[in-house]
Chain A
């Protein structure tokens, strides 16, 4: 991801949204993380040609957004921003998989198109759920939840530092790019050569900064364990949240809700 993309992603806005005070925000991070993981696993476990049966799962990110006061448009914009990656994964399916599954009148629908659609639905669901999780919990609380759930401490620490210094790194690279742009007129100049040295510089600066941060941490008694002040605990409401949603997800995985509703409606009119 280049500097501009990171800016467009606007982590600051995610952070602001995560500092609200709604019932969803007040839930323990572990409850939301666990539920989201179960959600992702159930969604991913669907077969490659399934589309309609996954639709009911939309209820989870939508409900969380609504209860957590997260603007829906915000979520959609963020999903669109990373959509090209998902499209890239499935874009060759229609060419490779030409087996005809069904036909709508003269229009024949091949397995490739269905699996592409399936990938896109999966992508929207999983990325939507993950983004909502961060927006209603906060990145650092997600990290803390990971640690409490037993993720390796070093991994969690790296994630936290990555998040903290993303902004600093971004500023630094923007300054480098600007300094180059101001002295290469119309973008001409020894492009590739300077690019290499710029990346090198950025690496050296990063290493220097890492060393200074480490020193600052040691000065304040850091000994390998990141202690965070968190008086919160996992309550009954949190357990109910995990349990309720998990039962719903598993139910929706086992029974095709869309078809059931469809059959009910058609049965009613028959």
Chain B
């Protein structure tokens, strides 16, 4: 199933004002992987994410998404493949009601009304927001807004799910619900986030960006144990991998894995 693959080769990007953002990024994400893109503020995470469905185009290098390279002519196919959830749900939910918003993508795909309605209902059920169908989006709570934003993308049945800061502004319980929900998704998933405990829960692989370059790319558990790398990219070990605040004891996060051995 090659349409779930993302392959970046030496991508460069600089903003119109000349600020360089990406300076030669390469990676390959295959079918069904769940990958975290982490790094300091301004490391290039959001810029990279915006390349993944053609909101931005690389100035140099190439990007293949699914079966086709990212070009103006393939943009529609790529946007169908990649579902992008923005950081601020208020940017994502622009239609008068939740239903209209979730129907926006499928209607633009030119699907018949019956199919649109059933897709909207299914997407809203998956995220547990079926009861919000007729509400205007600005009346929802933060957690509800996030759930509906995800539904707006799911209704287009994308193969790849890209989310920018999915847990920002969520209360702990909504955050937990989001994690449990995302665990059930079979899509290829890419998250840009600072929430490293979230990464530990959901992503088996992490890509660390530092000043527009890939500083590390590997299994999440290994990267989270690499103290020097984390410090250099303005990150901290996930809370669960830090010692108990009272006794200093370090808990074992993963069976048969001794975190002490790395320090």
Interface residues of A (CB under 8 A from B): 12, 15, 19, 139-140, 160-161, 163-165, 167-168, 209, 212-213, 215-223, 227-229, 231
Contact = CB atoms under 8 A, between A and B. Distances in A.
Contacts of B244: none
Contacts of B50: 215
| Most B CB within 10 A of own CB, among A140, A165, A215, A220 | A220
B136 A15 contact: yes
Contacts of A209: 90-91
Contacts of A164: 94-96, 136-138
B132 to A, nearest CB: 13
Nearest to A220: B105
A221 B80 contact: yes
- Looking at chain B, what size class is its interface with the partner chain? 35 or more
Given A164-B138, A168-B90, A209-B91, A220 B113 contact: no
Interface of B: 50, 53, 55, 76, 79-80, 84, 86, 88, 90-92, 94-97, 99-100, 103-105, 107-109, 113, 116-117, 120, 134, 136-139, 152-153, 156
A221 B105 CA distance: 6
B138 A167 contact: yes
B53 to A, nearest CB: 6
A147 B80 CA distance: 28
Given A209-B90, A216-B84, A219-B84, 5 more contacts: A165-B94, A219-B79, A220-B104, A227-B104, A229-B107
A140 B136 CA distance: 10
A221 B108 contact: yes
Contacts, number: 77
Contact of A219 (B53, B88, B95, B103): B53
A160 B94 CA distance: 9
Nearest to B86: A216
9 interchain residue pairs of minimum CB distance: A221-B108, A140-B96, A227-B107, A220-B105, A212-B91, A167-B138, A229-B103, A219-B84, A216-B92
A229 B79 contact: no
Contact of B55 (A218, A221, A229): A218
B138 A229 contact: no
A165 B96 CA distance: 10
